[in-house]
Structure 1
Amino acid sequence: MTARQDLLSGLALTVFKLNGRFLDVADALAVPVGLTAAHWQVLGAVLESPLSVAGIAREMGITRQSVQRIADLLAAKGMVEYRPNPAHKRAKLVAPTPEGLEAVRRIDPAHAAFADRLCGALGDDRAAEVLDALRDLAGALDALRAEDGPG
């Protein structure tokens, strides 16, 4: 294996491990308010403005089918609602309800406490550097995907 293959493998395995750890943290923060990490992820995607299921999937890097399943569950719990989409007749927009917004608000104190612990462990400057590096990595992967075209 080449040094670059080792780097790619190390990057991928570390990101996979981080994904699992962040999902564990998100579940620990969300479960006390009746949500899961996946519920919180979908709700979080539409806090600023409603999005279609496909838009949420693109934003979160997960499959459209997964988002649809979670959005349907959240709608059944009264946490989101489907709204007409002026840009597409069949692809409704997902928007949080007051109940969904309240659930996310109730996560906030535990979220803030964990953020303080994590940034305290890393240091604020280092945490910001790591975030920048992860954004650079995501941008590079997006650019390579665009070069490769659809599929």
Structure 2
Amino acid sequence: MRKAKRTPAGTALTDMILDLFRLNNRLLSAGDRLVAEVGLTSARWQILGTIAAAERPQPVAWLARDIGAHRQNVQRIVNELAAEGLVSFEPNPHHRRAALLVLTDKGKQVFEHAMHLQVPWVNNLAEDLRIKDLETTHKVITGVLRKLEGDGL
């Protein structure tokens, strides 16, 4: 069997993907440290942020889809957040068993505190980086993401 060879673009993308894996791990660790004082982890912060950014309350399955995570993992985190009074479940008029998630007042306060901590942190990370480079990188990442989502890979 002939060994397949990567194209130059395939090699460059592989290198970028490996660095993105490392970056993701570092971001999760840094995020955990950043929001620990408000009782969050990066995963919990991501869930709160996705709920806060949604145009309307969503069920867990939609939330999981939006962040590209497994529903069971999101459900576990949502249950923890609900037990701490950060989110609540509202009846879903379209589906009896798929309740809608909303931030409680406490959840909004915790999320806002986390975002307040994020501003100087992200500004420091962005220091000395060119906006044009960041925008180009963002376009590349979203382009690869769209391909993955479109192909179902």
TM-score (norm 1): 0.87
Residues 68-147 of structure 1 aligned to structure 2 (within 5 Å): 68-145=75-152
Q: Deviations over 1:20-65 (max 9, x none)?
A: 1221122122111111111111111110332111111111111101
Instruction: Give me the identity figure in percent.
Output: 32
Q: Deviations over 1:77-120 (max 9, x none)?
A: 00000111122111111111010110011112321112211221
DSSP 3-state at the match of 1:122: coil
Aligned length: 146
Counterpart among 28, 36, 55 of residue 33 in structure 2: 28
- Higher mean displacement: 12-21 or 89-98: 12-21
Residues 9-20 of structure 1 aligned to structure 2 (within 5 Å): 9-20=14-25
| Unaligned 5+ runs, structure 2 | none
| Unaligned 5+ runs, structure 1 | none
Distance 1:138 1:121, change over 3 A: same
- Cα RMSD after superposing both structures: 1.7
Which consecutive segments of 4 or more residues in structure 1 shift more than 3 A?
4-9
TM-score (norm 2): 0.86
Q: CA deviation at 1:3?
A: 2.0
DSSP 3-state at the match of 1:2: coil
Q: Quick check: which has more Rg, 1 or 2?
A: 2
